[in-house]
Structure 1
Amino acid sequence: MPERESTTHREPVGAGREAVVSLRGATATLGARPVLRGVDLTVHRGEVVALLGANGSGKSTAVRSAIGQVPLTGGTVELFGTELRRFRQWGRIGYVPQRTTAAGGVPATIREVVASGRLARTKLRWPGKADRAAVDRAIELVGLADRAKDSVSALSGGQHQRVLIARALAAEPELLIMDEPMAGVDLASQEILAATLREQVALSTSVLLVLHELGPLEPLIDRAVVLRDGCVTHDGPPPEALGQHALPGHDHVHPHAADEPVRTGLLT
């Protein structure tokens, strides 16, 4: 008898897993203009989700709403199953803001900046051996171990971005949120950042990325959520056209929308 064709289907990424980020019917305004119009966005444990869209589509506002930097006018946010207003375990989240310098104008070394990312774990206690090891590992992951004592003021734009990512990784987060990590970064640094992210994904870190283009991160993306005018227009596999547009070697730096202001503060 001929073999029967298998009817086994691969379980969708995230199916049956805990939701680490959940926005439901999220609405938000900047000034008098609606920016989010009923956004549903979920990231499951171990999942890598890219938030895509044109300038002004609401991408950065969505992630800042998820961590409480932009208040919602409607809808709900949960982190690790807890309502945002009751969530206190910020050490579980690493956040890389968009378009900022590593030290914000304050004289500091790479190690000092990265060590500040450990504060959510250490609170007021003196850093111990495990804390120092986490900082060393984070610096090594982004390829800056040989420059740990250098001042961040001497770094290039791509190196600044790597320091910001190391600062987020120093907390050993379960969820990593990155807002336009590849913007204005040279291809060599993009490849290092992609390799760093691969390391985190291998450790089952959940990742939410705001991206203009997929670039070297494309192979890591499990799911893409596309926003347009503050609404979700796609939630599923990365759109093919966007993937092709974003292949390595496509040099296209986009300006950020004026209606999505830059926030440089850390989580509080």
Structure 2
Amino acid sequence: MSSTGDEMTSGPSEPVIALRGVTAELGARPVLRGIDLTVGRGEVVALLGANGSGKSTAIRTIIGQVPVSGGTIELFGTPRRAFRAWARVGYVPQRTTAAGGVPATVTEVVSSGRLSRTRFGVFRRADRAAVRRALELVGMADRARDSVNALSGGQHQRVLIARALVAEPELLIMDEPMAGVDLASQEVLARTLREQVVAGTTVLLVLHELGPLEPLIDRAVVLRDGCVLHDGPPPHAVGQHALPGHDHVHPHAPADTEPVRTGLLS
């Protein structure tokens, strides 16, 4: 994948994503209170935490949808304000209507994610092949000509992921990819993500619980009230028991461990 200037200088030890002391507000309400977060090349990092903890806001500051009031953000070693190689980044928002209410086919929605890789918006053979590959990856090739308005929630999510993958990004950012998705689609999405990880894609994703993605996660970063509560190995349990903040000490915990206070998930 081509790039120019400082955006080509990122080395193996340089984070693909680096947030340092990032603060942000929504309206007059502080949402992020000095976040430090790094994601290394090829790493899969899950952002966990209760509703309102700042997970989605953190994601949206990275892609520029929410302005920061303090701190710095870098992508591939370049300050985000100067970053221009957005074809290197694939973004999957929280599940919504894939076409935003506008009549469109599955192919049309996925193709929109390829525009950054085309010249003047003209699709060539390689671009059309990339759209087909992305649809095959998420198991939606048989619905290519269907209207997205005829899809189930899980199928919508597959289309959004295909739209992010079609530009062949080096970094994939996903906000609640499993929320409200049926089990069959969860398994498809887990398999798709596994293939991307094997290919070397760096992944940052927001999750409520690890679920079928647990084997892929290298690190878990837990937020509470806009602060990092935990940054380290992912918990092995799923659901509420997976997160620091669950108010009990497990039998395998050291004897001098104090219970972590409740509140993270309530």
Shorter-normalised TM range: 0.7 to 0.9
Q: Is this contact kept in 2: 1:46–1:207, CA < 8 A?
A: yes
2:109 corresponding residue in structure 1: 113
Secondary structure at the residue paired with 1:19? coil
2:122 corresponding residue in structure 1: 126
Counterpart mapping for 1:1-268 below 5 A: 17-242=13-238, 245=241
- The separation in 1 between residues aligned to 2:240 and 2:233, in whole angstroms, is 13
Q: Which amino acid aligns with 1:174?
A: E
Question: Deviation at 1:168?
Answer: 0.3
How many residues in Structure 1 have an aligned counterpart in Structure 2? Answer: 232
- The separation in 2 between residues aligned to 1:41 and 1:34, in whole angstroms, is 18
Q: Is this contact kept in 2: 1:21–1:42, CA < 8 A?
A: yes
Q: Which amino acid aligns with 1:142?
A: V
Q: Which amino acid aligns with 2:228?
A: V
Q: Which amino acid aligns with 1:46?
A: G
Deviations 1:133-187 (A, max 9, x none): 1110000000011111111110000000000000000010000000000000011
Question: Deviation at 1:112?
Answer: 0.6
Secondary structure at the residue paired with 1:182? coil
Flag structure 1 segments of 5+ consecutive residues without an equivalent. Answer: 1-14, 247-268
Secondary structure at the residue paired with 2:222? strand
Q: Which amino acid aligns with 2:135?
A: I
- The separation in 1 between residues aligned to 2:69 and 2:204, in whole angstroms, is 22
Secondary structure at the residue paired with 1:104? coil
2:248 corresponding residue in structure 1: none
- The separation in 2 between residues aligned to 1:75 and 1:190, in whole angstroms, is 35
- The separation in 1 between residues aligned to 2:121 and 2:184, in whole angstroms, is 38
- The separation in 2 between residues aligned to 1:145 and 1:63, in whole angstroms, is 29
Question: Deviation at 1:99?
Answer: 2.8
| TM-score (structure 1 length as normaliser) | 0.84
Aligned Cα root-mean-square deviation (Å) = 1.5
- The separation in 2 between residues aligned to 1:179 and 1:125, in whole angstroms, is 27
Q: Is this contact kept in 1: 2:92–2:161, CA < 8 A?
A: yes
Secondary structure at the residue paired with 1:197? helix
Q: Which amino acid aligns with 1:210?
A: V
Identity level (%): 79
Q: Is this contact kept in 1: 2:48–2:55, CA < 8 A?
A: yes
Q: Is this contact kept in 1: 2:103–2:149, CA < 8 A?
A: yes
Secondary structure at the residue paired with 2:231? strand
Q: Which amino acid aligns with 1:236?
A: G
Flag structure 2 segments of 5+ consecutive residues without an equivalent. Answer: 1-10, 243-266
Question: Deviation at 1:17?
Answer: 2.8
Q: Is this contact kept in 2: 1:218–1:243, CA < 8 A?
A: no
